């Protein structure tokens, strides 16, 4: 049985169409909703409209770059806990990885990336999202049960006091 926890959105952010197509091809087998954004601004708007299990975010984009976008994602209460995987085509020896981790990115990959490795990393975040979602649902159920028991106890107290 598929639940809401089993279907999670993946936000892919890149200003280049060919990179979005490549990411969709790599992540397609995960059978999750893939949402595209072509800029940091589009990404932030998308994140305010729906929940995502993970964000794949290009570092080098015109306007709001990946670092600024990631920093804004981490500033918002609604989105601060969403893991971000930064992607870049620049030299792997640069300080980009350090900057990414410093602003809260969960991972950092250079292009071209290994499709299996990226899919595996994303799948780990999807599984964490599923578990957190189920835990939140169970916590709500338990809170409802506690409230029901408290009402029962209160009813019993009133009944005992009336006797």
Domain with residue 63: its CATH number is 3.40.50.2300
CB 33 within 8 A of CB 9: yes
111 pLDDT exceeds 70?
Answer: yes
- The DSSP 8-state label assigned to residue 106 in this structure reads S
Question: pLDDT averaged over the chain?
Answer: 90
Span of 49-53, 85-89, 108-112, 156-160 with lowest mean pLDDT: 156-160
Residue 15 in domain? yes
92 pLDDT exceeds 70?
Answer: no
Sorted by sequence, the CB contacts under 8 Å of residue 153 that are 6+ apart come out as none
Instruction: Indicate the Cα dihedral angle 73, 127, 110, 41, nearest 10°.
Output: -20
CB 60 within 8 A of CB 43: no
Residue 94 in domain? yes
Of the candidates 83, 90, 34, the one whose C-alpha atom is nearest the C-alpha of residue 65 is 90
Phi, psi of 115 (to 5 degrees): -55, -40
What's the rounded Cα separation, in Å, for the pair 140 and 159? Answer: 29
**What pLDDT shows up at residue 81?**
94
Residue 159 in domain? no
Q: Where are the beta strands (DSSP E) in the chain?
A: 9-13, 33-37, 52-58, 84-88, 107-110
Distance of CA 109 to the CA centre of its chain: 17
Number of domains in the chain: 1
Residue 118 in domain? yes
């Amino acid at each position: 049985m598929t639940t809401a926890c089993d279907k999670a959105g993946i936000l892919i952010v890149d200003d280049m169409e060919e990179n979005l197509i490549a990411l969709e091809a790599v992540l397609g087998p995960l059978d999750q909703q893939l949402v595209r954004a072509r800029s940091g601004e589009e990404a932030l708007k998308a994140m305010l409209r729906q929940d995502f299990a993970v964000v794949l975010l290009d570092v080098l984009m015109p306007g709001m770059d990946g670092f600024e976008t990631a920093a804004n994602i981490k500033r918002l209460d609604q989105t601060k806990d969403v893991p971000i995987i930064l992607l870049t085509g620049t030299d792997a020896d640069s300080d980009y990885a350090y900057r990414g981790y410093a602003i809260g990115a969960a991972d950092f990959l250079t292009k071209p990336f290994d499709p299996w490795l990226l899919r595996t990393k994303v799948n780990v975040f999807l599984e964490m999202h599923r578990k957190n979602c189920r835990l939140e649902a169970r916590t709500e159920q338990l809170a409802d049960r506690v409230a029901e028991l408290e009402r029962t106890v209160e009813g019993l107290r009133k009944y005992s006091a009336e006797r």
